[in-house]
Structures are given as structure tokens and as C-alpha cells.
């Protein structure tokens, strides 16, 4: 892929304070992102879920309780995905189209049956600045910028305030480099098939 498209993804929310602040920042820049929500938070903050969708962002499934799926039975995995799916649909009326396994932990067999049963593509990432270790906003920004490339998927967490603090500088510098922000599903649609 040579076009400078990039996807910004936010995991583990929504968060009652940080997610609305992030949505304000994204709106000011007309940047669309993808939110991999946890089902417990989706149920708790349905108004924030609706705002995410109303402002043109995408929501993906990040399970209900954030377990390591690779160590679970098929029935356990199915339940995690189904309950989160239902929470997203119940809050927003929109069905998620992709999932991200917590910790990136998933087997290839699980990916395959999840695609068949739920229709989900399993989405990991190309850049992980490890913002959850709280390295500081400027470090999050510099790691994202140095890892970013065309077709990239950036992973951060909208439950951490310093990550939100890092977003204006990160987004503005990526925009200045010519990147266009798209959702994960938009990015997938651009990938050459085959
Ligand atoms: Ni997560």
C-alpha cells in the first residue's frame, strides 16, 4: 500500500472522562478512529458509545472482561464475544465488524472460527507505544510517530489521561506528514485482496 492512510485505535474504554475529551480532540481535527471497547464499559456508558458512533467513528469488539482468549475454551471465547457484541448493538444499534483480542493473544484456529461465526476480522496493530506503562505523553507521541507508516494501525488506550494528552501533538504531526486517518474497516477495504 502506497497511499498514506493510517488507523488510530483506542482500546479498553469507553472511559467517562478521557473518552469524551478524546472525542472533542478528534472532532476538532475531523479525524476518525476505531474504538475497541470492553463490554463492561460499553454497558456502563451507553451515551458515550452513541456519541462515538454519531461522530463517525467505528466500534470493535474487545470482549466483555478482557481475558486471555488463547487459554480459553471455545464456549468461553464465544460468550466473551457474544456478550460484548450485544452490548455494542444495544447501546448504538450498530454491529461491530472486527475484534481485537486482549493482549493480542489468539490462536489461528480461534481466528478462523471467529470469522465464520461472527464475521469478524481479527485486528492486531503495527505500532504499540506501550502507553499503559505510562512512559509520559511525549514518549507516546515519539513512539507513535517513529513507528507510523502507510497502512499502519496504531494502538493506544483511551482509559489513560496521558495518552489523551499525547493525541493533539501526535495527530497534528501525522496530518502534517500527509497521513489520512481512516477506520479499521476502511483500511481493510483498501488492502489488495489475494
Ligand atoms: Ni485491551
Q: Which of 11, 12, 131, 165 is catalytic?
A: 11
Q: What residues have their beta carbon closer than 5 A to ion ligand 1? A: 11-12, 102
Domains of the chain: 5-190 (3.20.20.370)
24 is catalytic: no
Catalytic residue, chosen from 62, 66, 85, 157, is: 157
- Is 11 considered catalytic here? yes
Residue 101 DSSP one-character state:
-
Tell me the sheet residues that pair with 152. 6
Give the per-residue pLDDT at 194. Answer: 47
Question: At 95, is the secondary structure helix, strand, or coil?
Answer: coil
Rounded to the nearest whole angstrom, what is the distance from the C-alpha of residue 6 to the centroid of ligand 1? 20
Cα R_g (the chain), whole angstroms = 16
- pLDDT averaged over every residue in the chain: 96
73-106 pLDDT, tens per residue? 999 999 999 999 999 999 999 999 999 999 999 9
Question: Kindly report the CA angle at 24 between 22 and 26, in degrees rounded to 5?
Answer: 70
Angle 170-15-61 from CA coordinates, rounded to 5°: 85
> How far is ligand 1, taken at its centre, from the CA of residue 93, in Å?
23
25: left (phi over 0), alpha (psi -120 to 50) or beta: alpha
Written as tens digits, the pLDDT of the chain (194 aa) is: 456 999 999 999 999 999 999 999 999 999 999 999 999 999 999 999 999 999 999 999 999 999 999 999 999 999 999 999 999 999 999 999 999 999 999 999 999 999 999 999 999 999 999 999 999 999 999 999 999 999 999 999 999 999 999 999 999 999 999 999 999 999 999 976 54
Q: Is 151 exposed, middle or buried (0-12, 13-18, 19+ CB in 10 A)?
A: middle
User: What integer pLDDT is reported at residue 2 of this predicted model?
Assistant: 54
CA atoms of 143 and 141, how far apart (whole Å): 6
Amino acid at each position: 500500500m502506497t497511499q498514506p492512510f493510517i488507523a488510530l485505535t483506542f482500546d479498553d474504554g469507553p472511559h467517562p472522562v478521557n473518552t469524551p475529551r478524546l472525542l472533542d480532540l478528534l472532532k476538532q481535527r475531523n479525524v476518525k478512529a476505531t474504538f475497541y471497547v470492553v463490554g463492561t464499559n460499553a454497558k456502563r456508558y451507553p451515551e458515550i458509545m452513541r456519541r462515538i458512533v454519531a461522530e463517525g467513528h467505528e466500534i470493535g469488539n474487545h470482549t466483555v472482561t478482557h481475558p486471555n482468549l488463547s487459554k480459553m475454551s471455545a464456549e468461553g471465547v464465544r460468550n466473551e464475544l457474544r456478550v460484548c457484541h450485544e452490548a455494542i448493538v444495544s447501546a448504538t444499534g450498530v454491529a461491530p465488524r472486527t475484534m481485537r483480542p486482549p493482549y493480542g493473544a489468539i490462536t489461528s484456529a480461534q481466528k478462523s472460527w471467529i470469522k465464520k461465526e461472527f464475521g469478524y476480522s481479527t485486528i492486531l496493530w503495527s505500532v504499540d507505544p506501550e502507553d499503559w506503562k505510562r512512559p509520559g505523553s511525549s514518549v507516546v507521541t515519539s513512539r507513535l510517530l517513529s513507528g507510523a507508516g502507510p497502512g499502519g494501525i496504531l494502538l493506544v488506550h483511551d482509559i489513560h489521561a496521558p495518552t489523551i494528552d499525547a493525541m493533539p501533538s501526535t495527530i497534528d504531526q501525522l496530518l502534517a506528514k500527509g497521513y489520512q486517518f481512516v477506520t479499521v474497516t476502511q483500511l481493510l477495504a483498501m488492502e489488495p485482496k489475494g
